[in-house]
Structure 1
Amino acid sequence: MSGRDSLARGVRPAQPGTLHARSAADGIEVAPLPGLTVRFGRGPGEEGAGGDVELSVGRSDQGVSRRHGELTYLEGGWTLRNTGQQALRLPRGRLLPPGSDRLPLAAGYTPVFVRGSGFREHLVELYVVRPETAGPEGLAGAPLPAAWALSEDERLVLVVLGQRYLRHEPDPRPLPYRQAAEVMAFLRPGERWGTAEVASRVEDVRRRLARHGGRLPALRAEEAPEPQGCTPDHRLLTDLVAATALVPPDLGLLDGVAG
């Protein structure tokens, strides 16, 4: 799934507070009705007993609980609760353990990673329609400029390079070019992929954005202090993820690569 199909940039017009939730296999749109609960997880087993859910996640992964979490509209906002056996992972490395208190969801886009068997994680994308933008086409309520559109090669290279950012790991860093080139060679057998080819695609994107004013105005206005030792690639990947030019579903392009 490409960034163009992102939940954060593709929800339909709806009333403020409407919840859009999507997994790899399912999707749901829910009005903000007091007390309404949306349950997600693996769902009922083959025998059809227990675990009824409104959003199916990790259906074939026994590491995902049949009812792994729930979203409930309470006191004017959506909340997230972990009802499963393994922690839910949220942006910036935050974990929501089983049995913890309900977590209020902010308006806008929130990716939630459901831990499964081994090193597997399943993405649940959540989008709560903001009060000021009843029909969002991006986190800032407007489509991205054309300069931010990525070619197929550019997207794949940047997903390989920035996969830690898309997984919302704490203190992420770009994959080294040498390692990124090895992954590209695995994903594109028969094509020439070395560090020079990876660097060329990244530099093409950086130069294109620089010609069109660099960062989006909304990103410049809300820019946080950059970490010590910050590199141009770190800034580029941070901007692309913040602007939803790259989104967590893009990690699907890496299917078949060992984690």
Structure 2
Amino acid sequence: MKHDSLARGVAGAAPGAVVALTVSGKVSAAPVGGASIRFGRNRPAVDVCVGETDLRVSRLHGVLTHDSGRWWVSNTGQLPIRLPGTRLLFKDEDPLPLSDGYTPLFVRGVREHLLEVYVAGEDGGQPATLHSAATQQPKRWRLTEDERLLLVLLGQRYLLHEANPQPVQRSEVAAAMAELRAGQDWNVKRVDRVIADVRARLSKAGVTGLRREEVGEPVGNSLNDNLLKELVLSTTLVPPDLALLDELY
């Protein structure tokens, strides 16, 4: 199962434009003073719907507004909006400015719902350039369906953009895989084999920090931490992949 994601950039956007994406739809707005994008649960009354079936998400939960040459996010809902890291934006707080590029916003409800936002820089939605040479697109790694699901489980804190994320315990991953893949035999040993296979494949392709001898002792979570960072930074795994875990909640 593949999900579109603004983490991979936006092609052809006008400089300064904003694009917002949820599982329910995608909208954009030009960088004109006073322009806005409203988001929340009430589909008929907002520009992009988020948390449509979650009664803890407000009908109008927040607004993206263009003012003073940049885009801002404000919260009009009852529960906070979480930005990457630990920053929470509460109702009636001063709006926060959005940087150029990609920002995932997590709208609190019974669970967190993802609203992806991309503000196009001077080059629009195209990759940034270095002098006259176009930046190379990141290499995205091929994963099987089981590998993707397992790695999303393992790396969900990275996809949630938590501060200082760490991999989920492998025993929890095994239990979740057994629930999501009913009828299959999943345990910690099988989880470890899948993770080791992906690390070996990427290491062979030139990714560093995925072998014991490269990180030194004590190893701890270093190998899986490096693996998950590579998968997220290469946009092989993106926040919309968290939808694969919906059946757990």
Give the TM-score normalised by the residue count of structure 2: 0.85
Cα drift, residue 212 of structure 1 = 2.3
How many residues are matched?
Answer: 234
RMSD over aligned Cα atoms: 2.3
Q: Which amino acid aligns with 1:180?
A: V
Identity of aligned residues (%): 47
Cα drift, residue 66 of structure 1 = 1.5
* Residue 135 of structure 2 is aligned to residue 144 of structure 1: no
Cα drift, residue 230 of structure 1 = 5.2
Q: Which amino acid aligns with 1:17?
A: G
> What aligned pairs does 1:75-90 form with structure 2 within 5 A after superposition?
75-90=68-83
Equivalent of 2:204, from 207, 211, 221?
Answer: 211
Cα drift, residue 192 of structure 1 = 2.4
Residue aligning to 1:30: 29
Q: Which amino acid aligns with 2:12?
A: P
Gaps of 5+ in 2: 129-133, 209-218
Q: Which amino acid aligns with 1:39?
A: R
> What aligned pairs does 1:63-212 form with structure 2 within 5 A after superposition?
63-117=56-110, 120-132=111-123, 134-136=125-127, 142-145=136-139, 148-212=141-205
Structure 1 residues 32-41 or 169-178, which shifts more? 169-178
Q: Which amino acid aligns with 1:126?
A: V
* Residue 13 of structure 2 is aligned to residue 14 of structure 1: yes
Residue aligning to 1:41: 40
Assess if the C-alpha contact under 8 Å between 1:9 and 1:136 holds in 2.
no
Q: 1:10 to 1:211 in 2, by over 3 A?
A: same
Cα drift, residue 61 of structure 1 = 1.9
Residue aligning to 2:212: none
Give the TM-score normalised by the residue count of structure 1: 0.82
Assess if the C-alpha contact under 8 Å between 2:17 and 2:30 holds in 1.
yes
Cα drift, residue 90 of structure 1 = 1.1
Query: In structure 2, what is the Cα distance between the partners aligned to 1:212 and 1:24?
Result: 33
Assess if the C-alpha contact under 8 Å between 1:135 and 1:141 holds in 2.
no
Gaps of 5+ in 1: 216-227
Q: Which amino acid aligns with 2:183?
A: G
Q: Which amino acid aligns with 1:157?
A: L
Query: In structure 2, what is the Cα distance between the partners aligned to 1:205 and 1:150?
Result: 8
Residue aligning to 1:245: 236
* Residue 54 of structure 2 is aligned to residue 61 of structure 1: yes
Cα drift, residue 58 of structure 1 = 1.5
Cα drift, residue 235 of structure 1 = 1.8
